[in-house]
Amino acid sequence: MPRKLFVLTVSLLVGMHSFSQTGNLSGDLQTNVNLFQRDSSIGAFNTPLYDNYFTGIESWLNVNYNIAGFTAGIRIDGYLNSNLIDPNNAFTGAGIGYYYLEKEVGDLIIRGGYFYEQFGSGIVYRSYEDRGLGIDYANFGISLKYRLGENLLIKGIAGLEKNLFSLYKPTIKGLNAEGNFKISDDIRITPGATLLNRTLDQQSMDFVVATINSYDSVDRFVPQYNVYAYSGYYTITVKDFSWYLEAAGKSHEAIRSADGQLIDVPGTVLYTSLAYSIKGLGLTGQFKRTENYVLRTSPNETLLKGVLNYIPPMARQNALRLPGRYQPATQYLGELAYEVDGTYTPLKGYTLEVSYSNIRGLNNAPFWTELYGQMEVSRNKKFQYLVGAQYIFYNQQIYLSEPLPNQTAITPFTELTYRLTRKTSLRFELQYQHTDEDYGSWAFALAEYNIAPRWSFSISDMYNIDPNPEKADEKNHYYNFFAAYTKNANRFSLAYVKQVAGINCTGGVCRYEPAFSGLKFSLTSSF
């Protein structure tokens, strides 16, 4: 019924366009096609896609229409034998994945249907999409925004979280108020406060009760239908300094402990960052303490399902292949995290970057350490290069949930770019990662040729140069041949890929991806 109502509304808007005003239509398309080629030497086998289906497709078509002060949007999602939702299985489903209707009435913005929203830094509430990880945390319901004068914005939301082409049953209600005040020419403060309430439905509660009743009497407790999460935060800017502080808490409820058992505990998060920036120098320090801060649609959901919030990560996001191979997933049950970053430009054309991050358990057990440094030289317009190195400590028992030894890795790297002409350039990457754990040591090389603004070609190899015999039987090459063509708002890419199994992380949110062998085609377009 809601979808029929939305289609009727859009039809009325189109009718208004035909008979009265001129509207504005815009949208975009993204399509991914994977062709799976069985390769038992790298572990790309024994799944339905490699053994039976051989092809997987994901596609998203998004259309927005604006007329007479109204904005409407709809997105068609399609998955055909796709491994994006579950990396080890094929999923097929298609339908309307997202739609909304929005109207601005004076200082009030009213939105019905699906919406993405964030309160503060996202610790209490954030609904968002990350297609690369196969997640879509859109909410369905109503979203209101009201600007009270020039300095105060109030947001209110109520609805249900999306679960592919259906909805989770627990209800979500939230309120956020944020101000922006100029104290003087040099001082500005942005305070805010947030409250979120999630109420379990009866079916979810029945499952929780049944689980608790299966425990020994000493471990049983009375679960709560409602959980309340809240936070207060502010940003203070004084000349070249900026300080952010957020303290968040949540009432006690049933959450899953590290061993998967339901426990009844409250949760807290304390997060702060301090930044200093002047010409040629930028410094940032961050601290975060998290304890039992799990916010989901219900305690029955695990992994990436039913997540209601987003806790900022405390590690550098590395773009290069080997330095980015290991990333720490946010530990909602407990972590103490620190990060310090610095950027310094002593002379024009020289930029130094350093970063240090450390994450530990609340019992002081080491989880993660990274020490990173790089120097970029761009004095010559024809020739630019970057050199650097990374050291990491990675607790595999924590981040992979496997009884594996702790891992250390040292990764030196360099990147060189040479501009042949105004439109053509060559780029090279060389990286080496030394480690005795996981798959062992790696060497990586990439060569890329660009013809602006249309063509890009690259070839790379990730070579298991010194494999760990406990995980890799032989030295394997993981080749990647890539070509992309761009014209106007259309981009086509085709790649032959061999990819090692591992954890894929974006902003502290991680999921396991199995080994891949085959072709990847991608089309993106906007209009």
Confidence of residue 516 (pLDDT cuts 50, 70, 90): very high
| H/E element, 399 | helix 396-399
Angle at 170 between CA 165 and CA 174, to 5 degrees: 105
The pLDDT assigned to 12 comes to 46
Q: Does 112 score more than 60 pLDDT?
A: yes
What average pLDDT does the chain have?
Answer: 93
Would you state the pLDDT for residue 18? 52
15: pLDDT strictly greater than 60: no
Res 37: pLDDT: 95
> Is pLDDT above 90 for 335?
yes
pTM to 2 decimal places: 0.90
- Residue 385 clears pLDDT 80, i.e. is over it: yes
Taking residues 240-266, report their average pLDDT: 96
Write down the pLDDT at residue 16: 46
Burial of 331 (0-12, 13-18, 19+ CB in 10 A): buried
Residue 509: pLDDT band by 50, 70, 90 thresholds? confident
Whole-number Å distance between alpha carbons of 311 and 384 = 36
Token look-up 């069985």 returns 38
Tens digits of residue pLDDT in 419-431: 999 999 999 999 9
Q: Record the tokens describing residue 396, joined without a space.
A: 């595999």
What value does the mean pLDDT take over residues 154-167? Answer: 97
User: Are the C-beta atoms of 124 and 196 separated by less than 8 Å?
Assistant: yes
For residue 10, is pLDDT > 60? no
- What's the confidence (pLDDT) of residue 209? 96
Average pLDDT, integer, range 75-91: 93
Classify 215 as helix, strand or coil. Answer: coil
For the stretch 396-412, pLDDT in tens is 999 988 788 899 999 99
d(CA 133, CA 505): 8
Confidence (pLDDT) at 11? 55
Count of other CB atoms within 10 angstroms of residue 323: 24
Q: What share of the chain has pLDDT > 90, as a percent?
A: 84
Query: Mean pLDDT across the stretch 151-165?
Result: 97
Mean pLDDT, rounded, for 498-514:
82
The span from the CA of 231 to the CA of 192, in Å, is: 8
| Distance separating alpha carbons of residues 492 and 482, to the nearest angstrom | 11
Distance CA 201, CA 297 (A): 10
pLDDT tens digit string along 473-492? 789 999 999 999 999 999 99
Distance between CA 347 and CA 474 in Å, rounded?
A: 47
pLDDT of amino acid 1: 46
pLDDT for 133: 87
Note the pLDDT of residue 88.
87
Q: Give yes or no for residue 53 having a pLDDT over 80.
A: yes
And the tokens for 145? 């925004």
pLDDT > 70 fraction of the chain, expressed in percent and rounded: 96
Lowest mean pLDDT among 39-48, 205-214, 502-511, 512-521: 502-511
Name the residue among 294, 335, 295 with its Cα closest to residue 315.
Answer: 335
Three-state SS string over 309-373 comes to CCCCCCCCCCCCCCCCCCCCCCCCCEEEEEEEEEEECCCCCEEEEEEEEEEECCCCCEEEEEEEE
pLDDT for the residue numbered 470: 85
pLDDT tens for 172-199 read 999 999 999 999 999 999 999 999 999 9
Domain boundaries, the chain: 106-312
Whole-number Cα distances in Å, 399 to 366, 436, 464? 12, 18, 22
- Residue 19: per-residue pLDDT: 44
Contact 36, 88 (CB under 8 A): no
Is residue 13 scored above 70 in pLDDT?
Answer: no
- Contacts of residue 150, Cβ cutoff 8 Å, sequence gap at least 6: none
Half-sphere exposure of 489 (CA within 13 A, CB side): 8
- Determine how β-strand 502-506 pairs with β-strand 509-513: antiparallel
**What distance in Å separates the CA atoms of residue 368 and residue 355, rounded to the nearest whole number?**
13
Task: Please name the residues in contact with 206: beta carbons below 8 A apart, sequence gap of 6 or more.
Answer: none
Spatial CB neighbours of 403, under 8 Å, sequence gap ≥ 6: 397
